[in-house]
Amino acid sequence: MSVETHLPVGFEALEEKGWIGSRRFLLLRRASQLLFLALFLTGPLFDLWITKGTLAGSMTFDILPLTDPFVATQSVVAGHWPSATALLGALIVVAAYALLGGRSYCSWVCPVNPVTDAAHWMHRRLDLPKGWQPKRSTRLWLVAIALVVSLITGTIAWEAINPVTIVHRGLVFGLASAWIVAAAVFLFDLFVARRGWCGHLCPVGAFYGLIGKAALVRVSAANRDACDNCMDCYAVCPEKQVISPALKGAPGSSPIILAGDCTNCGGCIDVCAQDVFSFTHRFDERIVEPSPQSAPEQSAARKIHKECSQ
Amino acid sequence: MAMPQLSHSRRRFMTDTARMACGCAVAGLGLGYVASDARALPADALRPPGALPETDFLSACIRCGLCARDCPFDTLKLADLGEEGLATGTPYFTARKVPCEMCDDIPCVAACPTGALDPTLEDIDDARMGTAVLVDQENCLNFHGLRCDVCYRVCPSIDVAISLKASHDERSGHHAIFAPTVHADHCTGCGLCEKSCVLPEAAIKVLPVRLARGEAADHYRRGWEEKEANGAPLVEGLIDLPDRLPGPGTDNLAAPGGFEPAFKVPGGSQ
Ligand code: SF4
Ligand code: SF4
Ligand code: SF4
Ligand code: SF4
Ligand code: SF4
């Protein structure tokens, strides 16, 4: 039986841009995720207090309050109007992500993201079936359900099971459930649903996505005419549905990835050997004019491996 | 050709909608169950000073842990997932492990960003985290006539929240029992007494107020208090009858003021 496969995802980028160049944003993201964890951990570990609290609510250097807006919203719906500190914290967070891209939270801050990324990496290595794929809008329904249940029970409902804060709180306060919940999410993404948690279910990410619907910082496929259809960006993107409108849009359409679901992870930038993508702001509609020399040979550029497994 | 197409897409729309509605209902019920399961605190879990009543607390506390971080005695813990009866991530303490030291500046309340710990609590003596109850008189050393007194001595509100009430020790016949007696109106529920009880299992325990205390009906009046407030008997012209005093039999004819009962129990001993 002969199987036709692509070169491994990112192979061309690796050859063109080198090991670091082809995972620049991935490395930056991991550094950022570690940094955000470290801010909370220097206190309990070394008695150097930078940020206290958890991702649900924190206080940095005793002056900067931050509050998770989804938690705050549930609190309000459940019947409590938070004090000024928490409200201010929520406003700061909303303002920041409304500018930086709501789901930047997911790829640059959230401690569950490395877990689901690892599950996806493993999923690809093991070549598993994609499994249960609920609609992407399911997470918005979960946002609604969390709010309705908060209203009815008068509690901050999602916090009872929210893996994001449970993992973070567990890491920062040394509670065992962090590992159990992280393992559960990993196994779910690996065996039950590919990219299931972050891509389809997590209402926290969905809520940040809503905040970032009109975000300023966006990825642009400005150099889309150089695309040689290797499809690597679709393979790395955790929200692949966001790419086509920008990359494959009709001539004259915006090259900006406008969908709030885009996590600003920069994976597409890293993986593209043709440097189609770049970070910019949402009003930057410039498109790189194709130069005659660099125009891709569509079919030749799309390298195909022919493997005979038998 | 168009008709089957239409009904197919319509059927698909309907099954999708039905599936989604059912999914939402099931997920909502599940979440509702988990979220409301945690509304009755276990008896040994106490909320920090100033915590709103439990139902309000669960809508207000965002489970940030800032109160726990600012507690200098590491009194406050955050509930881990699945800890029975405690909403995930909410702060609590167990008096027997680490009690609240009743800091004058109440740093836990100052740290709370949401108002789940009531910022109007300015005097820690006004905190009501629970109420201490001497739950086991049969093992309390003072009730055996000893002078252990430890719970009494450690109380930050000594002689106000807890005092020793002397009574005759009938076992020895000529000693006193100094009973540790909590005055709930002044007990903060800090748990220092429970922590310090010398028994392997404390004889005095801080319980949530709802378990520790009864409640008098609104219309109950204490006659002696009303009389004092009034400065005179509430009803004029009452005849003061002789008081019955305790003694053998129905009445004590020997004691001064005793009187012959008007009615005798048939077959009674007298
Ligand atoms: S979708 Fe949810 S779990 Fe995933 S990275 Fe975003 S916030 Fe974290
Ligand atoms: S479009 Fe690019 S930046 Fe956005 S989520 Fe996909 S890979 Fe990440
Ligand atoms: S009053 Fe002091 S000891 Fe008691 S919980 Fe608050 S910070 Fe801790
Ligand atoms: S500081 Fe306030 S909101 Fe935060 S965990 Fe403590 S009681 Fe809850
Ligand atoms: S809990 Fe015990 S030590 Fe604390 S105020 Fe009440 S009686 Fe005193």
A113 ligand 1 Cβ < 6 A: yes
pLDDT, residue A210, reads 92
pLDDT, residue B66, reads 96
In this structure, the number of other CB atoms found within 10 A of the CB of residue A206 comes to 27
Q: Which residue of B has its CA nearest to A89?
A: B113
Q: Using a CB-CB distance cutoff of 8 angstroms, which residues of chain B are in contact with residue A67?
A: 62, 64, 113
What burial class does residue A71 get, using C-beta atoms within 10 Å of its C-beta: 0-12 exposed, 13-18 middle, 19+ buried? buried
Half-sphere exposure of B250 (CA within 13 A, CB side): 12
Length of chain A (residues): 310
Taking CB atoms and a 6 Å cutoff, what residues make up the pocket around ligand 4? Answer: A 57; B 61-67, 91, 111-112, 114, 116-117
pLDDT, residue A303, reads 46
- What is the Cα–Cα distance from A22 to A37, expressed in whole angstroms? 25
What burial class does residue A199 get, using C-beta atoms within 10 Å of its C-beta: 0-12 exposed, 13-18 middle, 19+ buried? buried
* Beta-bridge partners for A65: A59
pLDDT digits (tens, 9 = 90+) for A51-62: 999 999 999 999
Residue A241 Cα, ligand 2 centroid: separation in angstroms?
10
CA A259 to chain centre: 13
ipTM of this model?
0.87
**Encoded tokens for B159:** 């002689």
Q: Mutation target for A interface from B56, B63, B67, B121: give the one with most A CBs within 10 A.
A: B63
pLDDT surpasses 80 at B240? no
pLDDT surpasses 90 at B251? no
In this structure, the number of other CB atoms found within 10 A of the CB of residue A258 comes to 17
Query: Helices A138-153 and A69-77 meet at what angle, rounded to 10?
Result: 40
Taking CB atoms and a 6 Å cutoff, what residues make up the pocket around ligand 2? Answer: A 219, 236-239, 242-243, 257, 262-268
Phi, psi of B232 (to 5 degrees): -165, 160
pLDDT averaged over chain A? 87
pLDDT, residue B231, reads 86
Residue B59 Cα, ligand 4 centroid: separation in angstroms?
11
Strand ranges (DSSP E) for chain B? 77-78, 91-92, 131-134, 162-169, 175-182, 204-207
pLDDT, residue B106, reads 95
B187 ligand 5 Cβ < 6 A: yes
Smallest Cβ–Cβ distance between A176 and the set B58, B62, B80 belongs to B80
- What is the Cα–Cα distance from B238 to B258, expressed in whole angstroms? 19
* Beta-bridge partners for B241: none
Smallest Cβ–Cβ distance between A71 and the set B58, B62, B65 belongs to B62
Q: Enter the pTM of the model.
A: 0.85
Q: pLDDT above 70 covers what percent of chain B? A: 87
Residue type, A217: V
pLDDT surpasses 90 at B57? yes
Cα angle B148, B149, B155; round to 5: 145
Q: Residues of B82-92 as b/e, b for ≥16 C-beta within 10 angstroms?
A: ebeebbbbbbb
pLDDT digits (tens, 9 = 90+) for B120-153: 999 999 999 999 999 999 999 999 999 999 999 9
pLDDT surpasses 50 at B1? no
Helix (H, G, I), strand (E, B) or coil at B126: helix
pLDDT digits (tens, 9 = 90+) for A136-193: 888 999 999 999 999 998 999 999 999 999 999 999 999 999 999 999 999 999 999 8
pLDDT surpasses 60 at B71? yes
User: Looking at CA atoms only, how far is residue B127 from chain A in angstroms?
Assistant: 20
Higher pLDDT, B84 or A140: A140
pLDDT digits (tens, 9 = 90+) for B162-187: 999 999 988 888 889 999 999 999 99
pLDDT surpasses 90 at B46? yes
| pLDDT (average), residues B33-55 | 86
pLDDT, residue B248, reads 53
CB B250 within 8 Å of CB B261? yes
Residue A113 Cα, ligand 1 centroid: separation in angstroms?
6
Q: Can you list the residues of chain A whose pLDDT is less than 50?
A: 1-4, 299-310
- What is the Cα–Cα distance from A120 to A196, expressed in whole angstroms? 10
**Encoded tokens for B63:** 């489970």
Half-sphere exposure of B71 (CA within 13 A, CB side): 23
Closest C-alpha residue for ligand 5 atom 5: B187
pLDDT, residue B270, reads 45
